[in-house]
Structure 1
Amino acid sequence: RDPRGALEQMAGLIEEVGHRNDVQFPLNMTVCVTDGQQVVAARYSSETDSRSLFHSTSFRQLRELYPDDPRIIAAGDDAFLVLSEPLIDVQGVWEEIQEATILVAKSGQIEYKRFVPRLPEPAA
């Protein structure tokens, strides 16, 4: 129901357990999840130096490059890709997701927010 909150709580729990066990930098992640309606991708590390994460800014170039690929045709106009590195044969359509950032993409709209790990709230 709340992918951003769930990811931030997961990261907070990992960091808390790691620090409690003397792990200096317990988390280094790039992650992407979907519920079929939205895509949520995050880039974060405890030492503020996570691996790279990119997303496409235009699916049109991919359709032009692979006009007969049924997977690309089926993806539709609001589709985009989330990748660890940009595709070399498709230039100029990639944007890097910054460190400690979460991206939420839905219905062709992309929103960036700061990713802040937090401990899960106690069950009621």
Structure 2
Amino acid sequence: MPLLESEASPRGRMRVFVRAQLPLLLGAAFIGVVVAVAVAVADIVGLALLRAELLAVLPSVGMLATFPILWLAYGFRRTVVLVTRGKCTGPTVHSSARSWWRTTSRNSRRPSRSARIFSARSPMSCGRR
């Protein structure tokens, strides 16, 4: 199965394209998508970990959740920005909601069932209770 075709017909050119250029194009597209997703995920996870560690010492670290949104706002459509904005509120809402549920339970010694479910360990809590 030779890579180069001796005929210059459209069928021969298509055969060369499918054998040589199409795998390269698909591989480059796959790597581009993986890198774009990996950078966005690393950015969001890194900011969530920074916020979890430094919130008690430096309360303004909560503003770090805006950076992934700003990064996405310049390169993607509005729907992608809205989805990411929803996901970036996770670390912010999680910590404040946990404290709110614990203070509003009926019995202060034993939290309500919904509070126990909601305040269960999650990836955003970074192993702390």
The TM-score, its normalising length taken from structure 2, stands at: 0.28
Bigger share in strand: 1
The TM-score, its normalising length taken from structure 1, stands at: 0.29
RCO comparison, higher one (Cα < 8 Å, 6+): 1
